[in-house]
Amino acid sequence: MYLPALLAFVHHLAAFTLVAALAVEVSLFKPPLAVVQARRIQRADMVFGIAAGVLLVVGLLRAVYFEKGGGYYFANAFFLTKLIAFLAAGVISIYPTVLFLSWSKALREGATPEMSAEQIRRARMCLMLELTAIVVILFCAPLMARGFGYFGNRS
Ligand code: HEM
């Protein structure tokens, strides 16, 4: 009885955590970075990854086994758009994650991470695209939850 509500709680907690971690990354990623800033960005990115994993698992559990069932969500344009935006943000987040992880050796030696202007520009663009995907997700979520965008059988 409580499970659907509990899953909704975990879903929203993970969604808020993901958005907060991304906001930390965007606000701290202003090279040249101090060692402490770079370490905070690495930690925020780890939290971002964990929250995204929890969101995908709990989101699919809710979509397939709880709420309105898989037949509804996988025949709903807003849910599919939300899922595609989420997966696209996941793929886009790979570039910044690889860049942030590449700092580990320098940070272990207490040195500030070196980056080219091109790496900085690309990482910034990825972070902005991830934020844009969140806006798309937040637009789709209430519409899909209220029956808009459903194109399946109504019989
Ligand atoms: C950053 C990522 C995400 C955010 C910010 C987010 C946000 C939300 C919000 C705000 C709602 C409540 C909608 C409402 O009742 O008005 C919601 C519901 C829901 N979300 Fe997400 N979500 C995210 C990712 C996902 C993913 C990846 C999935 C599935 C794979 C998913 C599946 C669901 C389901 C099944 C509901 C319940 C809809 C209903 O009540 O019918 N979410 N989401």
* pLDDT tens-digit series, residues 9-52: 999 999 999 999 999 999 999 999 999 999 999 999 999 999 99
pTM greater than 0.85 (yes/no): yes
**150 occurs within a structural domain:** no
Band of the pLDDT at 1, cuts 50, 70, 90? confident
Handedness of CA 126, 92, 8, 149 (dihedral sign): positive
- Residues contacting residue 153 through CB under 8 Å, at least 6 positions apart: 75
Give residue 119 CA to ligand 1 midpoint distance, Å.
32
Q: What percent of the chain has pLDDT over 90?
A: 97
Mean pLDDT of the chain: 96
Q: Which long-range contacts (CB under 8 A, 24 or more apart) does 128-137 make?
A: 128/26, 129/89, 129/92, 130/22, 130/89, 130/92, 130/93, 131/22, 131/26, 133/85, 133/86, 133/88, 133/89, 133/92, 134/18, 134/19, 134/22, 134/89, 136/81, 136/82, 136/85, 137/82, 137/85, 137/86
Q: What domain range is 72 assigned to?
A: 3-145
The crossing angle, in degrees rounded to 10, of helices 35-65 and 77-92 is 150
pLDDT attached to residue 152 = 86
**153 occurs within a structural domain:** no
**65 occurs within a structural domain:** yes
**155 occurs within a structural domain:** no
**154 occurs within a structural domain:** no
| Total number of domains constituting the chain | 1
Give residue 112 CA to ligand 1 midpoint distance, Å.
38
Tokens of 49: 């990854």
Band of the pLDDT at 63, cuts 50, 70, 90? very high
Higher pLDDT, 42 or 152: 42
Q: Is the CB of 86 under 6 A from ligand 1?
A: yes
Q: Is the CB of 60 under 6 A from ligand 1?
A: yes
**88 occurs within a structural domain:** yes
Q: Using one digit for the tens of pLDDT, what is the confidence trace for 122-146?
A: 999 999 999 999 999 999 999 999 9
Please state the rounded mean pLDDT for residues 57-70. Answer: 95
Q: Is the CB of 43 under 6 A from ligand 1?
A: no
CA distance linking residue 145 with residue 77, whole number of Å: 11
The crossing angle, in degrees rounded to 10, of helices 94-101 and 35-65 is 140
Contact 56, 86 (CB under 8 A): yes
**127 occurs within a structural domain:** yes
**151 occurs within a structural domain:** no
